[in-house]
Structure 1
Amino acid sequence: MPSKMIVSAASALCLAATLLPAHAQVPTVRIPEAVADWYNAGDKFVQESQKQKVNERKAKNVILFIGDGMGVSTVTAARILEGQMKGKPGEENRLSFETFPNLALSKTYSADQQTSDSAPTMTAMVTGYKAREGQLSVNHTTARGECNADTIARNSVKTILEYAAEAGKATGVVSTARLTHATPAATYSHTSVRDWEADANMPTTSVAGYPCRNAPGAVKDIARQLIEVSPAVRSSLKVAIGGGRTYFLPSVKNGANFFDPEYPTTRGRRADGRDLTQEWVATRGPGAAYAWNKAQFDAINPETTTHLLGLFEPSHVQFEADKAADRAGEPTLTEMTTKALQMLEKERGGYFLHVEGGRIDHAHHNGNAKRALIETVEFSNAIRKAIEMTDPEETLIIVSADHSHTFTIAGYPARGNDILGISKGVPQRDGDGQISDVDSNGLPYTTLGYQNGPGYRAGGRPMLTDAITTQLDFLQEAAIPLGSETHAGEDVAIYAKGPKAHLVRGSMEQNWIFHVMREAFGFN
């Protein structure tokens, strides 16, 4: 039976060097573990697994974290990047949610798409129903472009946020995307077109010829739906933090152009002349607040603020890698999550909170792996903070993605090879230096790439180096030229811990996530 004696990595390498013949070399690739470490780690895993207990309690709180576009390859690459940022090889690292005891695979197809967009996938997770492409929290019988409010109301499917509000729980929505973007909007809005974020985005008449934009009897735009929600949701929605400021601001007010407070040449997008940020404060009572920059956000006192609306960019918030250059400053996803939990944790009846790492998706669409992975690491940081701030006995935390991307990890790179760099394999002889892996034309290639997207090189493959590929703006190579990289259709992972987390298991339809949350809350 293998020894369970723990041997340090340094001692192991020393011992190996002593025992090797004079002509032998120490392996080039760094292996920090001693031989016994692998076996002992497996033993520890089994012992800890046997101690796991099923939590059958009813959940007081549920937090749904969605990494938009966070497929399995993104999780793997971000795990390695975070580990390498800590000075380690990286492969042995774990992101915060990878320690959760329950894991499943989510089938992300929608009612009418093999590879889906964020609208039907998030609708599935928060309502329990598969939906059509581009539609938010309405059933699949809804016609595309349907504008009639009564028809939309009949076809609406209730969200977990709305169930929580009706049960007297507090609710919150946090995103690094626009609050009116598909993933966060699915929690509170019902519409046949996800792009109807402001009234100016809506047509004057519907495809069927009925009055649409701001017409009597027409469905409201998404930003307006956030403000004019049901009485139960209006009371319960304590926190709404993200981007999309101009969708709440008028283009013209009192006969004059109305400009964004941070960008003086950027006008609001609303055609109805309404300032919905002011309406939020006016309709939520004396404890309501609105913040659009970092200083205002930091000044918010969670103990005295009853309802907080935070909108930190005209569109999506800055990528995590670019926040330092933002002129007005804006909070990180971890800071937004912390503030939201500070406000919700004081609610005695419990809460439902949705947090989205929305810009993982956008960086992938840009073919820019470095920004996507930095976003994923920050998403993990926000989850780690939520774990620290909540009681695992009463809070169910679910982490998943709405869909994947055509993001690949390829070649035969050695362990510890820079995940953003050129693929360099294990040398044929110990002691030899690593040599870049090359294609059939003798050109090096990166470990990370995309099946399609803006990284396609029309003039042929370039000569790449680590100095080039690790730059923030580098676009990984793509096989098919597209202006924007697409989603991918494979399953994504679901991670869960807390009450009823054991219901997350095996291969799951994406809409079953709603049913797990509903069961955890005890909503029948």
Structure 2
Amino acid sequence: MFRRTLVSTLSIALCASTALAQDLPQAGSDYYTAAQDALAERINLQPNTNKAMNVILFVADGQGVHTNYGIRLYEGQQNGFLGEEYDLPHDLFPNSAIIKTYNINSQTPDSAPTAGAMNTGVKQVFNTINMADTVIHDDCSTESPLRLFSEMASDAGMSVGAVSTASITHATPAAVYAKTANRNWEGSAPEGCTDIATQLIEQMEAGVIDVALGGGIRAFAPAGVEMETGTGNREDDVNLVERATASGIQYVYDAETLAAADRSQPILGLFSNSHMSYEHDRPEDEPSLADLTTAAIEQLSGNENGFYLEVEAGRVDHASHAGNAHRTFTDGVAFSDAIRAAQEMTDPENTLIIVTADHEHSIVFNGYCGRGTPITGLCMGVAKGQVEHSGEPVLAADGLPYTVVTFGQGAGSVLVEQEDGTYAGSRPDLTQEEAQDPDYLQQALIPMGSETHSGVDVALWATGPWSHLFGGTMDQEMIFHVMNHAVFGAAE
């Protein structure tokens, strides 16, 4: 009786609150009504406690909160919006969290142990992959391997895939299948150690990995051997592609061979010599990240026991390292397209989709800029009496305009080395056309050949079974624990 009275009281209070709102001067605002609609959706939202048959972990390397903001505005502006009001597909997911990214021994994280934390449930040592905290970097005699989510899924009869626009042996995709004291042992390793490419083939032969799609043919072929998409650099004269095909694994190397592959058999796709192309530069015969994601889901979804797939937009990270915001954002848009493709191909009732990043970069957004300022261009002033920007660039104290995006450090530093070894400089004048050139390197302060990661938190968005377990500020290894519960704990 008490509970029924309480529920009735709350319902009356909510109705009264809604009625009162109609008397507010702001009640007719589109912002107000949109917020009311969003509130109603949240009130009616029910947790999905189904067992997750499928799990897709999307990782945009280096796409933290700041970078995600830039990609949102870029994609929105490309689609005819001012940009700020736009939503990326994952922005609309019902559940989210803030994720800490530090490694056991590093405040600023590396992609290898961060991806490893997502795949094992524990923090790891800088520059190592899927090893216990006793491992010494670069010393495989200290290796103490951890058990992977992919291995657990495979043992349960599920299919497993790894997709990346980086080399498939690079840190983030490697965390799905490899265990190593040095993330850089991609195609060669010291005597007594096993390189990452060899580990991938071993895991495919063992039936743990069913699909592996990315770049990096050089790590799979002997030094000097010409392959379809590059030249091998292995020092042991072993051709892992030949080993794979002899084991019944299909080898594909371009969009045509990927499309023609038998979706019922394991697939190894190596589409470039090293990393795949940036989306801005991608040739027609090279599949996009959405193409890779679609092919992987087509193959993995044939298993009635479900699948685990990790998808990495690896080159978002590389563009930021280079100080080039245009390619950071265009690869981010390609990442969004891959998420949309996965959503169209799966059922939210049985598929847990997680979107996150391994770390952020030192990317900086400068202001005060008016609405609709081109996110890769100059900061334009806030206009009076209108929504869109004034059309006039904002000037800094030196009398020069500045771009919305800069980096804390990197190749675009305004400080230049002098003949005496010291650094000095000043900001050059810049036009809107120059700033929006796809090859423009954003201005930076500290001079460095490659911009570095940042240790700040990243965001996570999730939808599907048990995605409501994400919330608040969490450590990165919680991603594994939610996936584990959604697939295995919910079945108990």
Say yes or no: TM over 0.5: yes
Give me the whole-angstrom Cα distance separating, in 2, the residues matched to 1:433 and 1:306. Answer: 57
- Matched to 1:300, the amino acid is A
CA displacement, residues 371-419 of structure 1 (integer Å, 9 cap, x when unaligned): 0011111101101110110011111011110000000111111001111
Corresponding residue for residue 234 of structure 2: 270
Q: Is residue 243–residue 316 contact of structure 1 (8 Å, CA) maintained in 2?
A: yes
The equivalent position to 1:67 in structure 2, one of 56, 60, 63, is 60
- 1:515 is aligned to 2:471: no
2:199 pairs with one of 194, 210, 225? 225
Relative to 1, partners in 2 of residues 1:365 and 1:4: Cα closer, same or farther, differing over 3 Å? farther
Q: CA deviation at 1:433?
A: 4.6
Aligned partner of 2:411 in structure 1 is: 454
State yes or no: 1:438 paired with 2:405.
Answer: no
Give me the identity figure in percent.
42
The answer (yes or no) to whether the contact 1:71–1:405 under 8 Å persists in 2 is yes
In the alignment, does 2:254 pair up with 1:280? no
Do the aligned residues in 2 keep the contact of 1:139 with 1:156 (CA within 8 Å)? yes
Give the Cα–Cα distance (whole angstroms) in 1 for the partners of residues 262 and 468 of structure 2: 36
Partner of 1:417: 373
Q: Which residue of 1 aligns with 2:13?
A: none
Counterpart of 2:333, as a letter, is V
Partner amino acid for 1:306? Q
Residue pair 2:381, 2:389 contacting (<8 A) in 1 also: no
Report how far residue 219 of structure 1 moved. 2.2
Aligned residue number for residue 168 of structure 1: 157
Q: In the superposition, relative to structure 1, how do residues 465 and 191 fare at CA in structure 2: closer, same or farther (>3 Å)?
A: same
| Residues 425 and 3 of structure 1: CA distance in aligned 2, closer, same or farther (over 3 Å) | farther
Please point out which of 227, 234, 241 is paired with 1:260: 227
Corresponding position of 2:17: none
Measured after TM superposition, the shift of residue 2 of structure 1 is 5.8
* 8 Å contact kept, 1:427–1:435: no
SS of 2:308's partner is strand
Residue 429 of structure 1 and its aligned partner are, at CA, apart by 6.8
Q: Distance in 2 between matches of 1:300 and 1:97?
A: 30
Structure 1 Cα separation of the partners of residues 276 and 28 of structure 2: 46
The answer (yes or no) to whether the contact 2:203–2:209 under 8 Å persists in 1 is: no
- Please state whether the residue corresponding to 1:235 is helix, strand or coil: coil
Conservation of the 8 A alpha-carbon contact between 1:245 and 1:313 = yes
Structure 1 residues 34 and 456, CA gap change in structure 2 (3 angstroms): farther
Is residue 403–residue 492 contact of structure 1 (8 Å, CA) maintained in 2?
yes
Normalised by the size of structure 1, how large is the TM-score? 0.85
Deviation at 1:238, TM superposition (A): 1.5
RMSD after superposition: 2.0
How far the C-alpha of 1:427 sits from its partner, in A, is: 3.4
Contact 1:243 1:314 in 2 (8 A): yes
Taking the aligned partners of 1:97 and 1:47, their CA distance within structure 2 comes to: 20
Residue 423 of structure 1, CA deviation: 0.4
Give the drift of 1:259: 1.8
Moved over 3 A (4+): 1-5, 427-434
Give the aligned partner of residue 82 of structure 2: 89
Select the residue among 251, 260, 267 that pairs with 1:308.
Answer: 267
| Conserved 8 A contact 1:104-1:495 | yes
> Which residue, 179, 182, 188 being the options, matches 2:168?
179
Q: Report the alpha carbon displacement of residue 34 of structure 1 after superposing the two structures with TM.
A: 11
Q: How high is the TM-score relative to the length of structure 2? A: 0.90
Distance across 2 between alignment mates of 1:162 and 1:495: 25
Equivalent of residue 346 in structure 1, options 298, 302, 310? 302
- Residues 252 and 270 in structure 2, CA contact (< 8 A), matched pair in contact too: yes
Measure the CA separation in 1 of the matches of 2:346 and 2:362.
35
Question: CA, structure 1 residues 4+422, in 2 after alignment: closer, same or farther (shift >3 Å)?
Answer: farther
Change (3 A) 1:522 1:466: same
Sort the Cα spacing of 1:4 and 1:280 in 2 relative to 1 into closer, same or farther, 3 A.
Answer: farther
In the comparison of the two structures, how many residue pairs are matched? 460
Conserved 8 A contact 2:129-2:183: yes
Structure 1 residue 432, shift from structure 2 partner:
10
Q: Does 1:188 align with 2:145?
A: no
What stretches of structure 1 of length at least 5 have no aligned partner? 6-32, 203-211, 252-256
Q: Could you tell me how far apart the structure 2 residues matched to 1:427 and 1:179 are?
A: 48
- The answer for the alignment partner of 2:420 in structure 1 is none
Residue 100 in structure 1 maps to residue 93 in structure 2: yes
Instruction: Give 1:147 deviation, angstroms.
Output: 2.4
Q: What is the deviation of 1:35?
A: 5.9
Give the secondary structure class of the aligned counterpart of 2:207. helix
Taking the aligned partners of 2:226 and 2:389, their CA distance within structure 1 comes to: 62
Question: Any conservation in 2 of the 1:4–1:40 contact (CA below 8 Å)?
Answer: no
Report deviation, 1:289. 1.2
Does 1:134 find its partner at 2:100? no
Paired residue type of 1:318 = S
For residues 2 and 418 of structure 1, the distance between their equivalents in structure 2, rounded to whole angstroms, comes to 36
User: For 1:444, what is the secondary structure of its paired residue?
Assistant: coil
Instruction: Sort the Cα spacing of 1:332 and 1:230 in 2 relative to 1 into closer, same or farther, 3 A.
Output: closer
Cα gap change, 1:141/1:443 in structure 2, threshold over 3 Å: closer, same or farther?
A: same
Match of 1:362 in 2: 318
